[in-house]
Amino acid sequence: MARFEIPDGEAVQAYRFALDPTPAQVRALRSHAGGARKAHNTMLAVVKAVMDQRAAERSYGIADADLTPSLSWSLAGLRKQWNARKHEAAPWWWENSKEAYNTGLDGLARGLDAWAKSRNGERAGRAVGFPKFKTARSRRSIRFTTGTIRVEPDRHHVTLPRLGQVKTHESTRKLARRIEAGTARILSATASEDSAGRWHCAFQVLVQRTIAVPGHVRAGAPVVGVDVGVKADSLLVIATPGGSEAGRVPAPRAYVRTQAKRRALQRRAARQQGPYDPAAKTRRQPSKRWARTQARINTTHAHAAAVRRDVLHKATTALAQQHRVIVVETLNAAGMRSAGGARKRGLNRALADASLAEVRRMLDYKTRWYGSTLVEAGRYFPSSKTCSGCGGRKPNLTLAERTYVCEHCGLKIDRDLNAAINLARLGETRSWGEQSPAGSGLVAGRGAMQESAAAQVVNAAGHEASTPPRQPSGKTGTASPQGEAAS
């Protein structure tokens, strides 16, 4: 799909604020989200019907030239088909902004494009499934790209199309100051509802940033390695190439800490009248007490996510501001939790609670903001199995061994600290490469790849916003093979 070209010296950044909408505005937001879901489901049904029809005609021996015409899977093509069907599919379409329906169609276009590329081998990573129909329990989200989108001067209200002024739960001064100074321009706004029912507004903003390490922060070691883990005292272990520990960030374990409260609430909900009758095996109207209990469960989940996100943001910001070169691991976080079954559920829960992949994602754009360099070690770099003293390997290192004992030189060191030291030696100098075991010099560069450099400014933080910006002309994506990939 076509990407928005970010000017030199500027960055795309997201500012997210909690909202306090009125009951009428909540109903309007949910109506917009329902319109996005309706447009998505309607056009997905049309796409599936055309695909099935073409497959049936092929089975009858009909030539490709005589098959039912395929549909364009681009956003522009789906929008054209939706406009021809919306009067019958959604007679109430005029009650919501056109951006609501565009949100649902954009999600469908991206899903179809990702599925087609994955099926044809043009997309790396795990296989992408065919898009599914959205239910009423799907996450509510609407993206506004046109119309009146602004932050009010009082710094306690935002204005969105068809919704008017919406009160914010927190001050918008950080964004308002930049807009008033002329160093920021709003590109779009996304209103979304979290699991606890709280609505947020995320502004995608084009910001002029000075790519330099702030002078008001404490300068740390120029090069550090960061090892991530799931232990309570070592979510992040930071070390220098010389072998000293530069810092250690404890894991918040937000999900585990709220497990007892969540278990009690879930047991209470199980004793109440829920939406499903197990005896009659039919759906029913849930009780109000069950709904209140579910709201408390959702609030507990949202609080755990907020605590986890707060710890990771503070830790990664400090790393990007205080160190020039940061070396991290490349972890297959999803693959680490994909097997094991019941015997591994405790570790899987701890891995999910730690959000290991978020550390690298946050450092990816924050290092560009603050002028530091991110070096990413290869996925198979043996940081934990290599001795930081002599360079010997210990191939049979198990996860239960928290202290690394070298069989060659007898070094005894904390496992996570040993891995962080080995990572730090990958980026000891700006002309990065692999360090010798003792860190005395560089050898042939391998095992790591440089993600960002201090001199780079183009595309700074270009992937920070929830959805990449699009060109306003409607050329937001290349059409998939016109449905032929699915036929």
Catalytic residues: 227, 329, 416
CA 418, CA 390: separation in Å to the nearest integer?
12
Please give the backbone phi and psi of residue 189, each rounded to the nearest 5 degrees, phi first: -140, 135
Q: At 209, is the secondary structure helix, strand, or coil?
A: coil
- Alpha-carbon distance values, 116 to 51, 52, 112, 121, 130 (Å): 13, 16, 6, 9, 9
CA 429, CA 425: separation in Å to the nearest integer?
9
H helix or E strand, kind and range, residue 289? helix 288-322
Crossing angle (nearest 10°) for helices 75-89 and 23-59: 110
HSE-CB of 277 using CA atoms within 13 angstroms: 8
Looking at the DSSP bridge assignments, the partners of residue 197 are none
Instruction: Detail the DSSP E strand segments found in 217-343.
Output: 223-228, 236-239, 245-249, 276-277, 282-283, 325-328
Looking at the DSSP bridge assignments, the partners of residue 165 are 159
CA 164, CA 107: separation in Å to the nearest integer?
25
Crossing angle (nearest 10°) for helices 259-271 and 288-322: 160
DSSP string, 96-145: S-HHHHHHHHHHHHHHHHHHHHHHTT-S-SSPPPPP----TTSPPEEEE-
CA 222, CA 430: separation in Å to the nearest integer?
10
Q: Hey, what amino acid is at 87?
A: H
Contacts of 368 (CB under 8 A, 6+ apart): 11, 211, 452, 456, 457, 460, 461
Burial of 442 (0-12, 13-18, 19+ CB in 10 A): middle
- DSSP-derived letter for residue 45 is H
Query: For the chain, what's the residue count?
Result: 487
Contacts of 88 (CB under 8 A, 6+ apart): none
CA 201, CA 317: separation in Å to the nearest integer?
22
Burial of 119 (0-12, 13-18, 19+ CB in 10 A): middle
CB atoms within 10 A of CB 218: 7
H helix or E strand, kind and range, residue 267? helix 259-271
